[in-house]
Amino acid sequence: MNLTPADILALTNEAALLIQRGRVAYANAAARALLGEDCPGKTVRSLLGAEIVETQASSFVANIPLSGHACIVRVSRSEAGQIVFLSQSETMPALVNDPFLCELRGGLMNISMAADSLRKQADRMQDAGLLADLQILTRSYYRLLRLTGNASLVLTAAQGGLPVSWSTFDLSALCRSILELVEHFYPDFQCRAELEESALLTADYALLKQLILNLLANCIVHAGPAACTVLRTTVTAGNVILSVSDNGRGIPPELLHTVFDRYRHSFGLGEMNQGPGLGLTVSRLITMAHQGTLLLESRPGQGTTVRASFSRDRSVPAAVHAPDADADTLVQDILVGLSGCLPAACYTESYMD
């Protein structure tokens, strides 16, 4: 018996679509329950958005707002057309709660105070060995600070959504400022900027800064510092798009559907130094807080691209104010956001002051 793609999709409990010539040729029962009984025949653009239609990769995964829910969309091509799987994503992490984070912050404060005291003693004694150990200790403190901040953001999102403080700023200018400092801290990091002269966006300045740093850190940690990274902004008629690409080892296709919730999945001992995998989870939550789309495409051995797309036409529900673009704050944000990959030598008193 020869089964058609529609026959196969009908057998799965996961929402699935068969796309031909830009329209839904077939939707199984789960997909019709999610998208409506009348979704067959509709265009992919009207159902899933322009980003899904315009992506040319043979297979990719994206997170989009759909029917009031955050949904993971997995797309692959076949001879019969595009196969699209839809699943609602979860945001609530196990074990992480407010008392846990409060206890962690208290411990971090004590570590910071003790390290400052030891650093003064080491300076007085001119103890180079102790000062080198303190650099490692301080970098570890910043790594835990980043972990705590990311976990707190995930918890806040799960408890009712991220609060957004709206401001209008130039996303390209923010990217330039970040890259200038990253190159100062980490000259070996190969990153090429392909930025629009101006990319005005109304969004949360602090959250977008965190998004950029998370995506850069993800490239450095997973693709390796020798990989070439490209930070790009693109302005279209309706969107401002931030993208980070690398030419690293890429992600195996069978793992693509886990990338936005990697912290929920087991990983081997060889991945222990890559962190808990909250970076893309947080990036997804920040994008969703702006009702944007986060799309990841990856090819093993060729690299990975992550694109965050934000509408230029979206109405802003709250007052818009000037962003806090303090240079000293940006330095601290970079020391925290890239703590998993910056050299220990960056964590000296001269940099942190």
Task: Kindly calculate the radius of gyration of the chain based on its CA atoms and give it in whole angstroms.
Answer: 22
Question: How many CB atoms sit inside 10 A of residue 57's CB?
Answer: 15
pLDDT of residue 191: 87
Q: Which two tokens stand for residue 287?
A: 């994008």
pLDDT of residue 266: 46
Contact 243, 306 (CB under 8 A): yes
What is the C-alpha to C-alpha distance for residues 49 and 162, in angstroms, rounded to an integer? Answer: 23
pLDDT of residue 308: 96
Phi first, then psi: what are they for 314, rounded to 5°? -70, 135
Q: One-letter amino acid identity for 323?
A: P
**Could you write out the three-class secondary structure of 236-286?**
CCCEEEEEEEECCCCCCHHHHHHHHHHHHCCCCHHHHHHCCCCHHHHHHHH
- CA angle (262, 266, 269) in 5-degree steps: 110
pLDDT of residue 271: 46
Provide CB contacts within 8 A for 193, sequence distance 6+.
175, 176, 179, 230, 231, 232
Contacts 24+ apart (CB under 8 A), 2-9: 4/80, 5/78, 5/80, 5/81, 5/83, 9/83
Q: Where does residue 49 fall: left (phi above 0), alpha (psi -120 to 50 degrees), or beta otherwise? A: left
Contact 282, 146 (CB under 8 A): no
Instruction: Indicate the pairing of strand 303-311 with strand 200-204.
Output: unpaired
What is the C-alpha to C-alpha distance for residues 208 and 231, in angstroms, rounded to an integer? Answer: 14
pLDDT of residue 69: 74
What is the C-alpha to C-alpha distance for residues 89 and 329, in angstroms, rounded to an integer? Answer: 33
pLDDT of residue 2: 64
pLDDT in tens, the chain (353 residues): 566 788 888 888 889 999 999 999 999 999 999 899 999 999 999 999 888 888 888 888 898 888 777 788 999 888 888 999 998 775 554 556 788 888 889 999 999 899 889 988 988 899 999 999 999 999 999 999 999 998 899 888 888 888 999 999 999 999 999 999 998 888 888 889 999 999 999 999 999 999 999 999 988 887 765 678 899 999 999 999 999 999 888 888 777 777 776 554 444 434 434 455 688 889 999 999 999 999 999 888 888 999 999 998 876 665 677 677 777 789 999 999 999 888 888 888 765 55
Sequential DSSP letters for 273-333: GG-SS-HHHHHHHHHHHTT-EEEEEEETTTEEEEEEEEESSPPPSS--B-----HHHHHHH
pLDDT of residue 350: 61
Residue 334's alpha-carbon distances to 137, 173, 177, in angstroms, are 17, 16, 11
What is the C-alpha to C-alpha distance for residues 259 and 62, in angstroms, rounded to an integer? Answer: 10
pLDDT of residue 338: 92
pLDDT of residue 273: 47
Q: What is the distance, to the nearest Å, from the Cα of residue 241 to the centroid of all Cα atoms in its chain?
A: 13
Q: What is the distance, to the nearest Å, from the Cα of residue 348 to the centroid of all Cα atoms in its chain?
A: 28
Phi first, then psi: what are they for 116, rounded to 5°? -60, -40
pLDDT of residue 77: 85
Provide CB contacts within 8 A for 245, sequence distance 6+.
229, 230, 232, 303, 304, 305, 306
- CA angle (216, 59, 48) in 5-degree steps: 90
pLDDT of residue 260: 76
pLDDT of residue 317: 61
Q: What is the distance, to the nearest Å, from the Cα of residue 118 to the centroid of all Cα atoms in its chain?
A: 36
